[in-house]
Chain A
Amino acid sequence: MSTALHPFWRYASPPQFLQLSGTLLPLLWAVAALLGLSGLALGLFWAPTDAQQGEAYRILFLHVPAAWIAMVCYGAMALWALLGLSLGTHLSFVLMRALAPTGALFAFLTLWTGALWGRPTWGVWWVWDARLSSALLLFLLYLGFIGLTAAVDRPQDPRRGDRAGALLALVGVLNLPVLYFSVQWWSTLHQGASLSPAGSRMAPSMLVPLLLCTAGLWAYAAAAVLSRARLLLAERQAVQARWRAAA
């Protein structure tokens, strides 16, 4: 009945994780800088002006990847929460917490760039349609998670905040489809002005910068999350050492 662990699992041990993330981080930061900057340069200067939306469309090179990352980060947070609660692995909770600020940042960027695009295109900063409302709710879910984990933590012991946060992330991810559905249903019920951008196929000269920006921002998100996780680990070790010395 011996179940051999997949080699991947050894990265659940903090020293192994520190070693792996230490070698990955410079690579990720380099990829983020290189692809992000080249994607932005191509997107802002090389890609042609859109026939319908003019120059304002160029914000999509940030907006679209930010929206993807904001959504995926919440799912990843819930996945680490599940792993942490079921396996009791310390590192899972650390990664879960490290994801939250990055997810919140990208959710905010989604809203902000959306508003900057909406003003010249639709003439308003904000409309209450299904997409915008659900992006706002996603941002609020992140804020609730960060607020809860920060308020529940005890200085010498982060475990209570870990567990409360993990449970909230799981409840949130179960609720998310219901939330999205209810907001969709609500917006069809009220028949708001349909202000969706015309569904046009994207020219390759626009697609290339978008893909570069997406890859660059993903690398940035991964690098930020790993760096934050390393800091959280170091902080926890320092606190433990201090309490042991005081005891």
Chain B
Amino acid sequence: MATALHAASALARRDLRAALRQPGELLAPLGFALVVVALFPLGLAPDAALLRQLAPGLLWVVALLASLLALPRLFAADLADGTLEQWLLAPQPRALLVLAKLAVHWLLTGLPLVLLAPLLGLLLGLEQVGALALSLLLGTPLLSLLGALGAVLTLQARAGTGLLALLLLPLEVPVLVFGSAAAQPGSGAAPWYLLAALLAAGLALTPWACAAALSLTLD
């Protein structure tokens, strides 16, 4: 177990270092989110009351779409340079390695979005930006977990992000429903509990599903 944890932390440190050497890629989803949020008032109307009412749902949809952007590259480099084949040979539990990789992925793509969310909320006139950020804090790890599953399944597909969107977004509907309900001002406790339950189930199950998908699709 100690060696497995050691391997997982080494993997996480390596991923972190590799990602920080190309900071431009990390900023792209944030720039995307900002641009899309700026488009809503232009496309709808500069109506403060309307935008405030729509803001939690719109920002959650933006979070879902932004989470798709980084996914095609999540495992692509590891497949190209043979790292994933070494995973299959390594004695360490694959689910743990997946979890370490996803922790770094969330830290670099999910967390920045959570931190940017209050600002985006203010742009749309939302007052309780804390609830929005907190709901995204619970929800974005789930988007990373489900997204990783989609990334593994489409790793060798002859198709672009369109297929990934068609595959993932219907599966992510529960996250969107509970997340945007939790971010609504005056929401009760129920959506928070449901979102947290989804996160717990996702954390427990998806690393195994990803590990299984990796060994099934790499042959």
* B170 pairs with A179, CB closer than 8 A: yes
Q: Which residues of B182-219 are within 8 A (CB) of A? A: 194, 198, 205, 209, 212-213, 216-217, 219
Is the Cβ of B170 less than 8 Å from the Cβ of A137?
Answer: yes
Tell me the bound Cα distance from A161 to B164 in angstroms: 15
Q: Which residues of B contact A152 (CB under 8 A)?
A: 153-154, 156-157, 217
Closest to B157 in A: A151
B166 near A147 (CB under 8 angstroms)? yes
Docked-complex contact A182 and B167, CB < 8 angstroms: no
Q: How many residues of B contact A (CB 8 A)?
A: 27
Residues from chain A with a CB closer than 8 A to the CB of B209 are 167, 171
Q: How far is the CB of B152 from chain A (nearest CB, A)?
A: 9
Contact in complex: B158, A151 (CB < 8 Å): yes
One of A65-73, A116-124, A138-146, A237-245 at the interface: A138-146
Mostly helix, strand, loop or mixed at chain B's interface?
A: helix
Q: Are A167 and B154 in contact (CB under 8 A)?
A: no
User: Cβ of A167 and Cβ of B216 under 8 Å apart?
Assistant: yes
Which residues of B sit under 8 angstroms from A131, Cβ to Cβ?
Answer: none
The contact size tier of chain A is 20 to 34
Q: Which of A146-168 contact B (CB under 8 A)?
A: 147-148, 151-152, 159-160, 163-164, 166-168
Known contacts A151-B163, A160-B219: A175-B157 contact under CB 8 Å: no
Q: Cα distance A174–B213 when bound, in Å?
A: 15
Let me know if B173 and A137 touch, CB within 8 A.
yes
Mark B residues whose CB is within 8 Å of A: 149, 153-154, 156-159, 163, 166-167, 169-171, 173-174, 177-178, 181, 194, 198, 205, 209, 212-213, 216-217, 219
Q: List 20 A-B contacts (CB under 8 A).
A: A141-B171, A143-B166, A144-B166, A148-B163, A148-B167, A151-B159, A152-B157, A164-B157, A167-B212, A168-B153, A171-B149, A175-B174, A179-B170, A181-B174, A182-B173, A182-B174, A182-B178, A183-B177, A185-B177, A186-B177
Residues of A bordering B, CB below 8 Å: 85, 137, 140-141, 143-144, 147-148, 151-152, 159-160, 163-164, 166-168, 171-172, 174-175, 178-179, 181-183, 185-186, 189
